[in-house]
Structure 1
Amino acid sequence: MGSREDRPEIVFFDLETTVPSEADKGRCVLEFGAILVCPKTLKELDSYSTFVRPANLSVVPDISRKGLTREAVNSAPTFQEIADRVYDILDGRIWAGHNIVKFDCIRIREAFAEIRRVPPEPKAIVDSLTSLNRTFRNRAGNLKLETLANHFGLGQQRHRSLEDSRLNLEVVKYCAAVLFLESNTVQPENFQMSRATNDQMDIDERPEPDDEVEEIRPVSKFPAAGTPSTPLRILSSDDGFVDPSEVLLDCISASFVPYSGGKKIQVLHRDVQLQLYCAGLRVRFGISRQFAPKLSFVVDPPPILCEVLDVCSGIAQTRHLDSGSSSQWMPTVERESEFSNYPTIRVRLRDNDATEISRREISGNLQKIQFSEFESLLVPRRTLVDAYLSLDTYDYKGFAGIRLVAKRLIIH
């Protein structure tokens, strides 16, 4: 095995695991798949894939749409038996994958910890979900690997480790091509260099294709096993806000917490209170006093936000039923309401004008504004806002649900 310095390959890898239950909180690795890729040509150099048999076969379902059944993994090697191969593939290389910082990297460390082995370490990490969240955004609807693959006509995601690793690489290529073309589109009237001028350029002065290649830089260490992960980018001075595209749906839960002498439901993500950062929400209806004294406005949510809120609402509703309340549960995402045939959500302001409100100027600077100015700013339809939202549950006068309360708003 070579040292880190002479292992330039990028390794795209993916894990398939069991889904934790109430009885068994952990996850067992059921499949490992990886491809080694040349960093200069992006050609696949090698690959490795295997099923993994967990110590307790009862956690593996008899039937699975992924093909990861008890029968399939029964004769597979244990993770301890493949640990040397996995270590050799990963250690000292650039790790790449979709959402690997918050999922696959943690699972790898946990798996090595269980067999009392030192885990492999990356030279650098490229998480395509995090990178595309900053650059590609919602061009394809959301940033799920399956959605992106369908958007580019690459076929269905199989949810199998080796196939998904290869699919991930193809998705990255297509997204990079789109971003490259967008950023380098020049209007004819702005293109000043004539062909004659270009032809006259001395050949030694023409830039070589690789002169401006940016070096892949390492990111900070990923969270240790068993600890809640934090966003990879600072969203604000407030801690704990998560972009909807970074929410792991199967890590959403709800629990009862003490509240005003009683208890209320709190929505959690990876056992931490879930708060959402939603950029570029488009206002459909401005400030309303219908719910006075609480003020609110209506926005058009992107599909990924709808998906996250639907899961939160469903899980919180289950806890609501457990409490024995007879109040009617109201959906967080309103569909086909009297106002619109499209999904909408209502954002409420905090009591006593406590919502911090700023306006983003053309220069990019933020200017704090008084609440008295806020109402007129949000009257025009299609105004864009960035919202830092808490998910507050309520049970009042026969109705219950989740309110989205803005702790901070930035108006474009």
Structure 2
Amino acid sequence: AGHNILRFDCPRIREAFAEIGRDPPEPKGTIDSLALLTQRFGRRAGDMKMATLAAYFGLGNQTHRSLDDVRMNLEVLKYCATVLFLESSLPDELVDNSATPSPETTSRRRSSIKSSPPQSSVDQQTGENSTAIPILSFVSPAEAQKDPFDLSALRNGIAPEVLQSDIPMEEEQNQQSETVAASEGTGDQEGFLELDEITIPSIRATHVPLYEGSQRMKLQLFLGDRTLRLHCPRLKVRFGINGKFVDNAGRRKLNFVVDLCPSLCKVLQGCDSAAKTISVDSGSGSDWNPVVIQMNGFQNCHTARIHIPAEFNGDVERYAAEIHQRELSGDTTTQKLISSNPRAEELESLVKSGTILGAFLSLESYDYQQRAGVRLVARKLVVVPQRV
């Protein structure tokens, strides 16, 4: 683990062992903070040298001594994690109320950003050799030096069993899918496709009007001529809903993370590839956020984040996803409606780490503040009882 170890330290180790005629040790896994930060935030991050980041946060000069560099790397990573986590929590809520603009709108937006005066914004671009770190403008260097970021609350809040590499078994999902699909009715399931109905080459993306007669466009995913929406009968929640995160208006943003079986992972990657191609071809220069999340440190472990759309009527805060409870009676499976417009508290109590859910998902694109991608949005969730 370290900063820029994949391109510097690891090759130096291999060279050293080659000089003495021995095979170099191969790590079971690596954590390169430079690769992680660059992959996640791209060119918006500017100069990502550890010495530059350390100087910004007032951590002193890099001594280029092993233990000192490790200590500095940990401090830099903690500060960066704080800043980048806060930044990453802002755009999603804005996207909730913003459809993907047309290519022309996107170009005009980028032009207006470039022509506007310099601001402390996550979207400012920096030259390759610039020492300015625009994304770090959320944190004052002086303040950061006083109070190091403490990860203990986060660490204690994550159940140990959640961190295990408990990949859901695709065979179990396939065995249950036919029974579940037959028992979940037809009216609310119409238009949602089972995974075995989807072939990757048939997935396509195109721009369509935001609504009939609209001049604004949005990117839409299709399977052939059908709007692509997914029914996933069995998803395991890795990280449950946390209502502590709010938007600029103080309204809670609800989402959760699920493990992906191989077949669902391939479908989502196919959707991601099709949407990204059209987005780039249409002239968008936004950084693309993959819908499939690779869990660092876990082999073959992929996850995805599912969002629950919000509905606000004055001060009343509710969410537009039906919640059902699957009930087993002998060989018969039925559903019981729990809530058609649940409150945040209801969702938090039902969608916890380790919960098994059936999910009816729509795939919605976004392109906002130089970030683009595809979001999974829950339209209906079915809580599956755990076997004793």
Give the TM-score taking structure 1 as reference length: 0.42
Name which structure has the greater RCO, CA cutoff 8 Å, separation 6+: 2
More helix by share: 2
